[in-house]
Amino acid sequence: MSAPQVNPGEISNWPILKIRYRTDPDKIAALLPPGIDPSENSNVSMNIYNLPVPDEPEYGILVMVDADYRGMPGFYTIGYGIDQESAIFISRDMNGQPKYPAEVTYYRMGDRVTARCSHQGYTFVEFEGTVTGPAAELPDYERNEWWIKVSRAVGGAEKSYDFPPHVVRMHSTYQTAHLEDVEGTLTLGESPWDPIRELLPQRELLSVQLDSPVYLSRDITLEGKLDPDAFWPYVDTIGGSRWIGTRGGPRR
How far apart are alpha carbons 32 and 95 in whole angstroms?
Answer: 18
Q: Is residue 6 part of a domain?
A: no
Q: Is residue 194 part of a domain?
A: yes
Residue type, 249: G
Predicted local confidence at residue 3, as pLDDT = 76
DSSP assignment of 39-63, as one string? -SS-EEEEEEEEEESSSSEEEEEEE
> How much of the chain exceeds pLDDT 70, in percent?
98
Tens-place pLDDT, residues 2-47: 677 777 777 788 999 999 999 999 999 999 999 999 999 999 999 9
Predicted local confidence at residue 246, as pLDDT = 84
Q: Which of 23, 19, 78 is nearest to 201 (CA)?
A: 23
DSSP assignment of 209-229, as one string? EEEEEEEEEEEEEEEEEPPHH
Predicted local confidence at residue 5, as pLDDT = 74
Q: Is residue 105 part of a domain?
A: yes
Predicted local confidence at residue 151, as pLDDT = 96
Specify which residues 173 forms β-bridges with: 142, 217
Q: Is residue 113 part of a domain?
A: yes
CATH at residue 40: 2.40.400.10
Tens-place pLDDT, residues 41-80: 999 999 999 998 888 889 999 999 999 999 999 999 999 9
Q: Is residue 102 part of a domain?
A: yes
Cβ atoms of residues 100 and 83 within 8 Å: no
**What is this structure's pTM?**
0.94
Q: Is residue 93 part of a domain?
A: yes
pLDDT at residue 232 is higher than 60: yes
Q: Is residue 130 part of a domain?
A: yes
Higher pLDDT, 236 or 247: 236
Q: Total domain count for the chain? A: 1
Predicted local confidence at residue 13, as pLDDT = 82
pLDDT at residue 173 is higher than 80: yes
Predicted local confidence at residue 250, as pLDDT = 82
How far apart are alpha carbons 127 and 136 in whole angstroms?
Answer: 23
Q: For 167-195, what is the mean pLDDT?
A: 97
Q: Is residue 132 part of a domain?
A: yes
Q: For 203-209, what is the mean pLDDT?
A: 98
Q: How high does pLDDT run on average in the chain?
A: 94
Identify the domain containing residue 67 by its residue range: 16-141+176-215
